[in-house]
């Protein structure tokens, strides 16, 4: 690495955005860490995080297709109300138009357990799954994405505005992460390239 003038991008700690002390229904853990699937649009995983800017926090919610680890939906806002996660999932549904039997896995935060979010799932015949309380490994794919986002982008910028952060995050997701970044789960191909190849059952 020294001879090639390469440098490690290190991570910084960040706090969680999950509030699970609520009275809304909690879905069972149906995914059960089965992170390898053989068909696209059969299982999506979602999560949300915050990004610091000099204007204040920017919140990002994402939807990832487990088939290729592609980020297929996202939403950004200056708050983490339920609309944030609903908009991210709606983007994924509009772009991909999955059939029946879609499994949707997330944490058990108030946004994902809310009435309006459950209504969105019912309207699209989506089965809900939630990770166990305090167990990040149950949603390891989403955790991995946000780890990469933080260490490869966010921790190396001092965003002056939310608009600046939104632009950089958009480019990271669409230009780099989905189309260029290699994933070990995809035999070191990008999500976009991996989706072009058939997978065995």
Task: Tell me the average pLDDT across 8-25.
Answer: 52
Q: Evaluate whether residue 12 is within a structural domain.
A: no
Q: Is residue 17 part of a domain?
A: no
Q: Examine the pLDDT at 16 and tell me if it is beyond 50.
A: no
For residue 78, give its domain range: 43-194
Question: Does residue 128 sit within a domain?
Answer: yes
Lowest mean pLDDT among 18-32, 86-100, 137-151: 18-32
Round to whole Å and give the CA distance between 125 and 82. Answer: 19
* CATH at 181: 3.30.420.10
Residue 4 pLDDT greater than 80, yes or no: no
Q: How many residues does the chain have?
A: 201
Instruction: Give me the pLDDT at residue 22, please.
Output: 54
Q: Is residue 169 part of a domain?
A: yes
- Structure-token match 């035999």, residue found: 187
pLDDT band at 21 (very low <50, low <70, confident <90, very high): low
42-to-106, 124, 131, 144 alpha-carbon distances in Å? 15, 13, 18, 20
- What's the pLDDT band for 199 if we cut at 50, 70, 90? low
pTM: 0.85
Q: Is 82 inside any structural domain?
A: yes
Q: Residue 78 above 60 pLDDT?
A: yes
Helix axes 115-123, 82-96, angle to 10 degrees: 10
Q: Let me know if residue 155 belongs to a domain.
A: yes
Q: What is the pLDDT of residue 102?
A: 97
If you average pLDDT over every residue of the chain, what do you get?
88
* pLDDT greater than 80 at residue 134: no
Q: Supply the pLDDT for residue 34.
A: 82
| Domain count along the chain | 1
Tens-place pLDDT, residues 43-62: 999 999 999 999 999 999 99
């Amino acid at each position: 690495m020294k001879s090639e003038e390469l440098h490690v991008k290190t991570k910084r700690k960040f706090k969680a955005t999950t509030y699970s002390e609520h009275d809304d229904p909690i879905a069972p853990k149906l995914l059960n860490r089965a992170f390898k699937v053989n068909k696209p649009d059969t299982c999506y995983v979602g999560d949300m995080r915050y990004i610091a800017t000099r204007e204040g926090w920017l919140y990002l919610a994402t939807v990832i297709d487990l088939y290729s680890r592609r980020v297929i939906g996202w939403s950004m806002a200056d708050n983490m109300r339920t609309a944030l996660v609903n908009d991210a999932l709606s983007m994924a549904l509009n772009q991909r138009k999955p059939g029946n039997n879609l499994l949707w896995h997330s944490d058990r935060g108030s946004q994902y357990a809310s009435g309006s979010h459950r209504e969105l799932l019912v309207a699209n015949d989506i089965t809900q799954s939630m990770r166990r309380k305090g167990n990040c490994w149950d949603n390891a794919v989403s955790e991995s994405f946000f780890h990469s986002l933080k260490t490869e982008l966010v921790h190396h910028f001092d965003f002056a505005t939310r608009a600046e952060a939104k632009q950089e995050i958009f480019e990271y997701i669409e230009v780099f992460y989905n189309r260029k970044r290699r994933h070990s789960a995809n035999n070191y191909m990008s999500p976009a390239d991996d989706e072009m190849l058939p997978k065995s059952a």
